[in-house]
């Protein structure tokens, strides 16, 4: 069964510090990995996906199949990055768009 | 372009009752997925509808059922409510062309409380 693990429920950093939100997955096939973000009082929205290999709002994430990880990184955190972050996995070979989410990490960036 | 909308925003029911939650998909989207998000957890996939038919289901009992209408809007029905059904229910819509899916867009959710 596919599983996504986010080991940190809470992460607190200071503005300008690097931030890394960890995500590990368990899946036997070839997964697609995503990071979703939920800002306060807003709906869940896609931040980035590994197949795009892009940087969004300064965030990047690299899929490491050897370590089954998809950690989210940003070199210099901003206060507006404070939000709930969810890592999610999709079965790339599936016939439907089912996402399996981790439990999320609440990031707080302090001034 | 109108985003995904859900109704009602909040709902309180008692054990054993039945509930219907509604979702209007984003313009141009033909696929709707439902997720349950319990407190402190990530969203958990309930099922997905495409062209008015169920297209995949998560680990939820049959008392969770759904519909998709010709205009691609959808309903989630839960019978015989249990206390553990208390959660935020999220609807997400996307467009599908053949085997290719585009990004899912989430609605604001319906907060269901079962007493």
As given in the structure block, the two tokens for residue B74 are 């959808």
Residue B61 has a pLDDT of: 97
Burial class (CB in 10 A: 0-12, 13-18, 19+), B35: buried
- Has residue A51 got a pLDDT over 90? no
CA-wise closest residue to A4 among A106, A100, A111, A107: A100
Chains A, B: CB pairs < 8 Å: 55
As given in the structure block, the two tokens for residue A48 are 């980035």
Which residues 43-102 on chain B approach chain A with CB closer than 8 angstroms?
43-45, 48, 50, 55-56, 58, 90, 94, 96, 99, 101
Residue A62 has a pLDDT of: 87
CA distance to B93, B102, B113, per residue, from B68 (Å): 12, 19, 24
CA-wise closest residue to A36 among A111, A107, A93: A107
- Minimal C-alpha gap between B43 and chain A (Å): 6
As given in the structure block, the two tokens for residue B101 are 């899916």
CA-wise closest residue to A13 among A74, A104, A88: A74
Tracing tokens 């509930």 back to the chain, one arrives at B19
pLDDT per residue as tens digits for the range B44-86 = 999 999 889 998 899 999 999 999 999 999 999 999 999 999 9
**Average pLDDT, stretch B14-37?**
95
Q: Tell me which residue in B45, B48, B90 faces A44 most closely, judged by beta carbons.
A: B90
The better pLDDT of the pair B101, A39 is held by A39
**Average pLDDT, stretch B81-102?**
87
As given in the structure block, the two tokens for residue B55 are 């297209």
Report the chain A residue with the minimal C-alpha distance to residue B49. A96
Summary mean pLDDT of chain A: 91
Using a pLDDT cut of 70, give the percent of chain A over it. Answer: 95
- Has residue B38 got a pLDDT over 70? yes
pLDDT per residue as tens digits for the range A24-50 = 999 887 788 999 999 999 999 999 988
Does the distance separating the beta carbons of A95 and B56 come in below 8 Å?
yes
CA angle, corner B52, sides to B47 and B58, nearest 5?
Answer: 10
B100 confidence band (pLDDT: 50, 70, 90): low
Residue B56 has a pLDDT of: 87
Residue A96 has a pLDDT of: 66
- Has residue A73 got a pLDDT over 60? yes
CA angle, corner A106, sides to A102 and A107, nearest 5?
Answer: 125
Q: Tell me which residue in B58, B103, B108 faces A43 most closely, judged by beta carbons.
A: B108
């Amino acid at each position: 069964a596919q599983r996504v693990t986010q080991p940190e429920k809470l992460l607190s950093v200071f503005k300008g510090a690097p931030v890394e939100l960890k995500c590990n997955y368990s899946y036997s096939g070839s997964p697609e990995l995503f990071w979703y973000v939920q800002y306060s009082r807003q709906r869940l929205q896609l931040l980035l996906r590994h197949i795009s290999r892009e940087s969004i709002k300064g965030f990047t994430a690299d899929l490491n199949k050897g370590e089954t990880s998809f950690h989210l990184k940003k070199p210099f955190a901003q206060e507006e990055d404070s939000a709930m972050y969810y890592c999610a996995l999709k079965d790339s070979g599936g016939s439907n768009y089912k996402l399996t989410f981790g439990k999320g990490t609440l990031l707080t960036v302090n001034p | 372009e109108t985003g995904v909308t859900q109704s009602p925003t909040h709902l309180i029911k008692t054990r054993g009752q039945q509930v219907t939650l509604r979702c209007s998909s984003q313009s141009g989207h033909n696929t709707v997925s439902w997720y349950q998000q319990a407190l402190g957890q990530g969203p958990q996939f309930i099922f997905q509808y495409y062209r008015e038919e169920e297209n995949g289901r998560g680990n939820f009992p049959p008392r969770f059922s759904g519909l998709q209408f010709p205009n691609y809007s959808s309903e989630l029905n839960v019978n015989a409510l249990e206390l553990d059904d208390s959660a935020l229910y999220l609807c997400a819509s996307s467009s599908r062309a053949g085997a290719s899916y585009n990004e899912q867009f989430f609605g604001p959710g319906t907060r269901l409380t079962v007493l």
